[in-house]
């Protein structure tokens, strides 16, 4: 298991990788900011050791190791623990989730990232710190934590856009598709929305709690940043709600379209049958074998029968047309 | 990029247009009210410069440049930032949204307006200020901000009226239309309502926050005005909810009407078929070629068969009629 | 425009009518209670003048003139403004709304009543004051305001009873009606409920605000009265919710009944067709003209064919009956 | 009108019945607890007199006389007024409601009980007081009030159990019943639930208010009892919600079952028709009277035709079976 | 009835079983933690005696004896009472509920467990205490209570996983099953969810109350543990909500699939009928017995009729195909 360490202050930044938690001690500073990142599911033993070194509560360790942990914020004496979900789209356009745990100390942030979601959301930030710096280099560990969370939240919007594009496509097809597979596909989108919602909704409460709390680890100047983050999460949550309504709308349009199309087909078919049934009756009448049927001997009976049938069929067609049945 | 500046106090009012943020400095006053308006998406560089000149927080700049920003209010040390959505109807009756950002300082209001919504909601206000004045000239920057927001909120009602008129039209057609296009059209109205709702709902919270907050930038005498604005937004939000229910009602009436009409058609067609089927059977019987069929030789068999068939058909008709089947 | 003035104290009561707001000044007293009532949409100018005389905020004037004002309560320095909706049934049983605005000052109440709702809800109260008096004569302007609001709220219940009686009638017809007009009628009731709800719901918040607020204009002894009023409005609101559920239930019963009736008809018709189709096939067989068909020459073929057909028809009927198909 | 009086302290208990409110004065004590019970709708005059004797506010008198009063709690200077609904099942299993009003004074409780619900919920308590006593005799008027309310709330659960048993029965029948009467019956249960809900829900708020309020009439030691009562009402309210969902579930199962059964019948009937239609066509072909139809003279044409028809019918049956159509 | 007693402190742990509540007195200590566990429904008398010995309020005794008690927390002077529901799956995969009551005193926890749910959720904890100890041995009675509640909450997740697996199975079958039994089965899952929800939801409020309350029986260091427990219960509650939506989705997919399959069958059958009906008419025409029908004598009439019929059938098939009707 590898611990990636980045240290920086306004003037400089350096990067290091160590293998054990004990080696981390050597990099502990009182000034500047130290960011320790652990990627992939760490071994429980290594994380236990890290917890000892950094005074992390056993419950936090449990939360870090539990891949299904619900997004939350917890205050401890020495640190603040934030847990949130990163959402990415894998190669097949399937949703992949990763769990990000942040232990925020006075001048250290320890980040844990585990889960299916491929790629590293933090790479861009890492390069920014090691590169020319910018705002993050001028500020403390709390801003680093904010920047990490901001990174994760930013990714929500690309996921939402992808889902939104899918819904729009469904909207275009809703009036045409009549296969029940369409409904099943829509249901899959609904399930995706449910899963994303589960990742995003608790984060709203967590951020609202961060904004309201009065913890010396988060300096006052960070307030607008967290409020901004909160607004973003709210926007994502509202977008989700709108998507749910759109999906419901797509289903209604589709059900109505399927049923209307079916109705039209059945109506046309039934009209055809209904047109011929009286005619078939008439030809049946003159197919009877009674000895005394005067019409049979009448010279113009046959063409007159045809005429009668045409009149009946025409009359019915006109009647159906007038009633606007087809 | 052009900055339109209007300055006024109780006695006088003037208007100016400058090209760069630096030129604005010349117009900075300690007394009276200065209103700087930037229309259309400004260049990021120009707005950055403006932000420097007026001490605007980078996050506010980001919000101004982000056309998808959610309506919100944020307090900063030197100013208050309000973001809301203007809604207009374009020539085709389609909804067009514009984003209005307001930076409210002690005696300056900077307004940013970007987006699809054509026309200028603020023209009337501008003329009022430059003209004989009225209340706005006697009051401070906070009242100007209120007046700008009031302008935007007032426009919501004409949009809602337009949508409401459309829904009434749908209500009139609901019992007649049987095309699934009708349902698709109704869904479009639902989507419009969703989009308007997204613009209006967060504004409720923002205004409620403005009313509750104790910021020296907003004087106490403004309280009834903002409360009034809040009531208006509440009314718009409630109207939206009523519209949603009306749209749901239209869909139910339509579905029921479509299904009833279809049912009637099928019933009539099925009754016609059912009437003729026993008759066709009877004529089939006497079309059989058995050598020993006494009826065939019976002199009055043919008219009697007709009589029988008329009795059967009549009996069925009476039965169907009594059961109220058509 | 006429201003109707009633003045009273424990000992006496008088009534006057003046034409202009200025004349009202002559009737201003420091003791007793003065009630000024303006019926019908007043001219804006007259109300502006009244506002000057009685120090009414321009926003209140706007609210009074706006017939679509949402029910609300607003505290001003010198007075309390309450806006609520009166609901009446007109001659055709249609809902008619009127808007009642109350400006409550230390010993004056100014009431404004505009809108479609015919009749005068306040007549009874007026007679009570001018007559032998009762509680209202012994108490202050705040009680008068309460009495006016109570009058309006009392009328809600007769409206609700009327709607409730209509819903009960719909319930009785729900299982029989099969016309889609029934659904359209029910939707109209739903719309009425929506409109009444919009008038009543905001009043809940207003009254709850009145009860909680600590305004010297409303004396403590009025508390139980306003609480009682609040309970009444809550009861009306709950009744509305129950009605909504009843209406939804009526629609479900009706849809189910319509569909069941249709299904029964189609089933009977289809059974008739199905019974005759195999028989028609059989008679068709013996209508074939093959030279070598031994049955045709068989002496008892014809009665045997009938027997066969009766057996088939009977068998099918028994089968259908056993399966409980009709 | 009769007033039943019970007086008790730890040592003794006595019971008396008087006819007029004035006689009650003789039984007024400063020590012990006095419980006055008025059953059935009292005459307004008698209750007015009682109100004078016991200093009851006119609004409370109105509430007592109004049989449709919503459950509520109101604090007055000298007493606490509680109004709640008793629910009983009458002989036919129909819901019957009674209204219970309690005026709780320092050492007196006056209870009013009016309404359809037969029987006397308080008989058991009366016997307990007059008998060996138990906890109620050792405690004050507040405990008596609690005991009376507890009695009423206890009865809710037997009503709920009865309704619950009915719903279970509906659940068992849901998949079989196909009459629209079933839906109408279910709707009646829904209406019952709505009515019970209206009686129980406001009581939650009332009890929560009792627990939170700081009234010297309710001693601190009563707190756990009222909390317990509150929990019971919550449980009843939650049970109601579960029942609503169960009823909705029953309707869905029933609608689905009805529609499935109908579909099966129509499918079988349609398959029968479809099987015979091509055969009828074939026999029709050989019923044609063309002079030159070589098949008619072919010796084995008739049996071959039968063979052909059997092959066609069999083929169709196999095809339908393979497609799992019946 | 047996009382199982476990006593422990940091250094040692012992276990004892006694038969009567009086014997418990001998084991009362001021230091260390004593855990008394009563399994199965105890006799009321024994629990009354226990209540006397440990000063337990009569209402708590009632709650312990009432197997249908709603989850709750109550503070008493000397102890804290917590009631929650254990959920287990019995051998048939049916839900079984048990009620767990905890009386938390300064250094004693008394746990009561009654109900259908087989097995002992506390066995693992018991072994941990008597074994090498761990954290529970180093902490007080409050931690023991937490550990017991944690045990119960942990079991929720295995139940939820089981239900979730069932729902997934339903999802796989939703598009195929067409029996109304499927809907009935789904309804059973919905009922299970309702029952689990009833057990879990009130616990959220209880835990939130425990976290907020300031009771000396629960030491501050326990805060993170109860917060963690609260988060777990929240997660369980949210999972329940997701399951409800999934179940609703399964039903929608199933209804749509059933209706689509039925529609396809009916369409194919109707198309077959419609194809043959005009052909049957034609053969009927040439089955007529008119003496003067020139076609009958025409040499090639028969093959031409066949040709005509093939053309008609082919034309109809092409038309239906083009319209995408099958």
Cβ contact B14:B8 at 8 Å? yes
| Shared domain check, B75 and B54 | yes
Picking from A143, A246, A290 by the largest number of B CB atoms within 10 A of its own CB, the best residue to mutate is: A290
Please provide the DSSP assignment of A92-141 as one string: TS-EEEEEEEEEE-SSEEEEEEEES--S-TTHHHHHHHHTT--HHHHS-H
Cα B100 from Cα A94, distance rounded (Å): 37
SS3 annotation, chain C = CCEEEEEECCCCEEEEEECCHHHHHHHCCCCCEEEEEEECCCCHHHHHHHHHHCCCCHHHHHHHHCCCCCCEEEECCCCEEEEEEEEEECCCCCEEEEEEEEEECCCEEEEEEEECCCCCCCHHHHHHHHCCCCHHHHCCHHHHHHHHHHHHHHHHHHHHHHHHHHHHHHHHHHCCCCCHHHHHHHHHHHHHHHHHHHHHHHHHHHHHHHHHCCCCCCCHHHHHHHHHHHHHHHHHHHHHHHHHHHHHHHHHHHHHHHHHHHHHHHHHHHHHHHHHHHHHHHHHHCCCCCCCCHHHHCCCHHHHHHHHHHHHHHHHHHHHHHCCCC
Q: In sequence order, what are the residues at sequence separation of 6 or more whose Cβ sits closer than 8 angstroms to the Cβ of residue A248? A: none
Contact check, Cβ <8 Å, A191/E281: no
| Shared domain check, D273 and D195 | no
- Across the range D78-93, mean pLDDT stands at 89
Cα A181 from Cα A188, distance rounded (Å): 11
| Shared domain check, A297 and A198 | no
**Contacts of residue E228 in chain A, CB cutoff 8 Å?**
59, 62-63
CA proximity to D102, closest of D128, D118, D121, D88? D121
**Contacts of residue C237 in chain D, CB cutoff 8 Å?**
none
CA E260 to chain CA mean position, Å: 31
Bridge partners (DSSP) of residue D42 are none
Q: At D259, list the tokens.
A: 């529609």
Cα B163 from Cα B169, distance rounded (Å): 10
Cα A232 from Cα C123, distance rounded (Å): 56
pLDDT, tens only, C166-197 = 999 999 898 888 777 888 899 899 999 999 99
Cα D152 from Cα D157, distance rounded (Å): 10
pLDDT, tens only, C212-238 = 988 999 998 899 999 999 999 999 999
For residue D117, pLDDT beyond 70: no
Q: In sequence order, what are the residues at sequence separation of 6 or more whose Cβ sits closer than 8 angstroms to the Cβ of residue C324? A: none
For residue E118, pLDDT beyond 60: no
HSE-up of C29 (CA within 13 Å, CB side)?
A: 17
Contact check, Cβ <8 Å, B290/C301: yes
Q: What is the pLDDT of residue C117?
A: 63
Please report where in the chains the tokens 């909120």 appear, as a residue. Answer: B153
Please provide the DSSP assignment of B194-218 as one string: HHHHHHHHHHHHHHHHHHH---TTS
The range of the structural domain enclosing residue A143 comes to 3-257
Contact check, Cβ <8 Å, E305/D290: yes
pLDDT, tens only, D253-268 = 898 888 888 888 888 9
Please report where in the chains the tokens 């009234």 appear, as a residue. Answer: D215
B270 touches chain C (CB under 8 A): yes
CATH of the domain at C188: 3.30.460.20
Q: What is the pLDDT of residue D43?
A: 79
| Shared domain check, A126 and A209 | yes
Q: What is the pLDDT of residue A246?
A: 92
Q: What is the pLDDT of residue D210?
A: 94
Name the band, by pLDDT with cuts 50, 70 and 90, for residue E25.
confident
Cα C218 from Cα C211, distance rounded (Å): 9
Cβ contact C272:B277 at 8 Å? yes
**Contacts of residue C274 in chain D, CB cutoff 8 Å?**
269, 272-273
Q: What is the pLDDT of residue C119?
A: 62
Q: What is the pLDDT of residue A29?
A: 79
Q: In sequence order, what are the residues at sequence separation of 6 or more whose Cβ sits closer than 8 angstroms to the Cβ of residue C53? A: C21, C22, C24, C25
Considering C237, C257, C277, which residue would you say is the last residue of a domain? C257
- Across the range C240-265, mean pLDDT stands at 90
Alpha-carbon gap: D47 to the closest alpha carbon of chain C (Å): 19
Q: What is the pLDDT of residue A118?
A: 56
Q: What is the pLDDT of residue B196?
A: 94
Report residues of chain A scoring pLDDT below 70. Answer: 1, 117-119, 133
| Shared domain check, B172 and B299 | no
Q: What is the pLDDT of residue E44?
A: 81
Q: In sequence order, what are the residues at sequence separation of 6 or more whose Cβ sits closer than 8 angstroms to the Cβ of residue D220? A: none
Q: What is the pLDDT of residue A117?
A: 63
Nearest CA in chain E to D238: E198
Q: How much is the CA Rg of chain A, to the nearest whole Å?
A: 35
Contact check, Cβ <8 Å, E63/D273: no
Q: What is the pLDDT of residue C308?
A: 96
Counted domains in chain B:
2
Q: At C146, list the tokens.
A: 């309460």
Q: How many residues does chain B have?
A: 326
| Shared domain check, B265 and B241 | no
Provide the 8-state DSSP code for D10: S
pLDDT, tens only, C6-58 = 999 988 899 999 988 888 888 887 788 999 999 877 778 888 888 998 999 99
C15 touches chain D (CB under 8 A): no
Contact check, Cβ <8 Å, C180/B291: no
B248 touches chain C (CB under 8 A): no
| Shared domain check, D153 and D289 | no
Q: At B239, list the tokens.
A: 């109207």
B273 touches chain C (CB under 8 A): yes
For residue C118, pLDDT beyond 60: no
Provide the 8-state DSSP code for A309: H
Measured over the CA atoms of residue A67, residue A68, residue A72 and residue A76, the dihedral's sign is negative
pLDDT, tens only, C62-116 = 999 888 888 999 999 899 999 999 998 887 878 899 999 999 998 999 999 888 7
Q: Return the exposure string of E206-233: e unless at least 16 CB atoms fall within 10 Å of the residue's CB, then b.
A: bbbebeeeeeebbeeebebbbbbbbbbb
Q: What is the pLDDT of residue E117?
A: 63
Cα D9 from Cα D31, distance rounded (Å): 8
CA proximity to C10, closest of C152, C143, C102? C143
pLDDT, tens only, B36-62 = 999 877 778 888 888 998 899 999 999
Q: At D144, list the tokens.
A: 């008596």
| Shared domain check, E286 and E183 | no
Burial of E64: CB neighbours in 10 Å, binned 0-12, 13-18, 19+: buried
Name the band, by pLDDT with cuts 50, 70 and 90, for residue B146.
very high
- Across the range E192-209, mean pLDDT stands at 93
Please report where in the chains the tokens 């089947």 appear, as a residue. Answer: B325
CA proximity to E119, closest of E81, E160, E159? E159
CA proximity to A320, closest of B304, B112, B4, B269? B269
For residue D282, pLDDT beyond 90: yes
Q: Looking at the partner chain, which of A62, A279, A302 has a beta carbon nearest the beta carbon of E293?
A: A302
| Shared domain check, D286 and D140 | no
Neighbours of chain B (3+ CB pairs under 8 A): A, C
| Shared domain check, C231 and C310 | no
Considering C257, C277, C301, which residue would you say is the last residue of a domain? C257
Contact check, Cβ <8 Å, E284/D289: no
Q: At B129, list the tokens.
A: 């200020």
Q: Euclidean distance between the first and final Cα of chain D, in Å?
A: 73
Cα B266 from Cα C25, distance rounded (Å): 76
pLDDT, tens only, E63-91 = 998 888 889 999 998 999 999 999 988 87
D190 touches chain C (CB under 8 A): yes
Cα C98 from Cα E75, distance rounded (Å): 52
Q: Return the exposure string of B275-313: e unless at least 16 CB atoms fall within 10 Å of the residue's CB, then b.
A: bbbbbbbbbbbbbbbbeebebbeeeebbeebeeebeeee
The β-bridge relationship of strands E108-115 and E33-39 is parallel
Cβ contact D152:D229 at 8 Å? no
Alpha-carbon gap: A123 to the closest alpha carbon of chain E (Å): 31
Nearest CA in chain D to E303: D293
pLDDT, tens only, E276-298 = 999 999 999 999 999 999 989 99
Q: What is the pLDDT of residue C323?
A: 87
Q: What angle do CA A300, A305, A308 make, to 5 degrees?
A: 125
Q: In sequence order, what are the residues at sequence separation of 6 or more whose Cβ sits closer than 8 angstroms to the Cβ of residue C323? A: D265
Q: Return the exposure string of B88-110: e unless at least 16 CB atoms fall within 10 Å of the residue's CB, then b.
A: bbeeeeebbbbbbbbbbbebbbb
CATH of the domain at B313: 1.20.58.340
Measured over the CA atoms of residue E27, residue E31, residue E37 and residue E42, the dihedral's sign is positive
Cα B20 from Cα C319, distance rounded (Å): 92
Considering A213, A239, A257, which residue would you say is the last residue of a domain? A257
Q: How much is the CA Rg of chain D, to the nearest whole Å?
A: 35
Name the band, by pLDDT with cuts 50, 70 and 90, for residue D104.
very high
For residue D118, pLDDT beyond 80: no
Name the band, by pLDDT with cuts 50, 70 and 90, for residue E261.
confident
Q: At B73, list the tokens.
A: 């209010």
Please report where in the chains the tokens 């007592």 appear, as a residue. Answer: D64
Bridge partners (DSSP) of residue B44 are none
Cβ contact A171:A201 at 8 Å? no
**Contacts of residue C59 in chain B, CB cutoff 8 Å?**
224-225, 228
Please report where in the chains the tokens 């706006």 appear, as a residue. Answer: C66
Burial of E89: CB neighbours in 10 Å, binned 0-12, 13-18, 19+: middle
D231 touches chain E (CB under 8 A): yes
Q: What is the pLDDT of residue D66?
A: 87
Cβ neighbours of D77 (radius 10 Å): 7
Alpha helices per DSSP H over chain B: 21-24, 44-53, 58-65, 123-130, 135-138, 141-174, 180-212, 223-285, 294-297, 301-322
| Shared domain check, B161 and B286 | no
Please report where in the chains the tokens 């609004």 appear, as a residue. Answer: D59
Q: What is the pLDDT of residue C177?
A: 84
Q: Which residue has the higher pLDDT, C240 or C42?
A: C240
**Contacts of residue A305 in chain E, CB cutoff 8 Å?**
288, 290
CA proximity to E276, closest of A269, D253, C64? A269
B271 touches chain A (CB under 8 A): no
| Shared domain check, E198 and E53 | yes
Cβ contact A176:A250 at 8 Å? no
């Amino acid at each position: 298991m590898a611990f990636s360490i980045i240290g920086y202050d306004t003037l400089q930044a350096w990067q290091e990788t160590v293998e054990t938690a004990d080696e981390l001690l050597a990099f502990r500073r009182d000034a500047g900011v130290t960011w320790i990142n652990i990627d992939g599911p760490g071994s429980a033993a290594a994380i236990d050791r890290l917890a000892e070194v950094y005074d992390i509560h056993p419950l936090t360790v449990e939360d870090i190791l539990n891949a299904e942990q619900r997004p939350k914020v917890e205050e401890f004496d020495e640190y603040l623990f934030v847990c949130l979900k990163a959402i990415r789209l894998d190669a097949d356009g399937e949703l992949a989730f990763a769990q990000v745990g942040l232990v925020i100390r006075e001048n250290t942030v320890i980040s844990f990232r585990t889960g299916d979601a491929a790629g590293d959301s933090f790479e861009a930030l890492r390069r920014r710190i090691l590169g020319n710096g910018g705002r993050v280099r001028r500020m403390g560990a709390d801003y680093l934590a904010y920047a990490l969370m901001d990174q994760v939240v930013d990714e929500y919007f690309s996921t939402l856009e992808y889902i939104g594009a899918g819904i729009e496509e469904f909207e275009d097809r809703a009036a045409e598709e009549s296969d029940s597979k369409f409904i099943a596909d829509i249901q899959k989108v609904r399930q995706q929305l449910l899963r994303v919602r589960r990742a995003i909704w608790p984060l709203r409460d967590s951020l609202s709690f961060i904004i309201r709390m009065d913890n010396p680890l988060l300096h006052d100047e960070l307030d607008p940043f967290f409020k901004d983050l909160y607004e973003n999460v709210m926007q994502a949550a509202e977008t989700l709600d709108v998507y749910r309504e759109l999906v419901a709308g797509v289903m209604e349009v589709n059900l109505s379209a399927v049923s209307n199309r079916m109705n039209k087909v059945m109506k046309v078919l039934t009209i055809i049958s209904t047109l011929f049934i009286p005619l078939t009756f008439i030809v049946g009448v003159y197919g009877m074998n009674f000895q005394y049927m005067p019409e049979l001997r009448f010279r113009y009976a046959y063409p007159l029968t045809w005429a009668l049938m045409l009149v009946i069929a025409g009359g019915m067609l006109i009647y159906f047309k007038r009633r606007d049945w087809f």
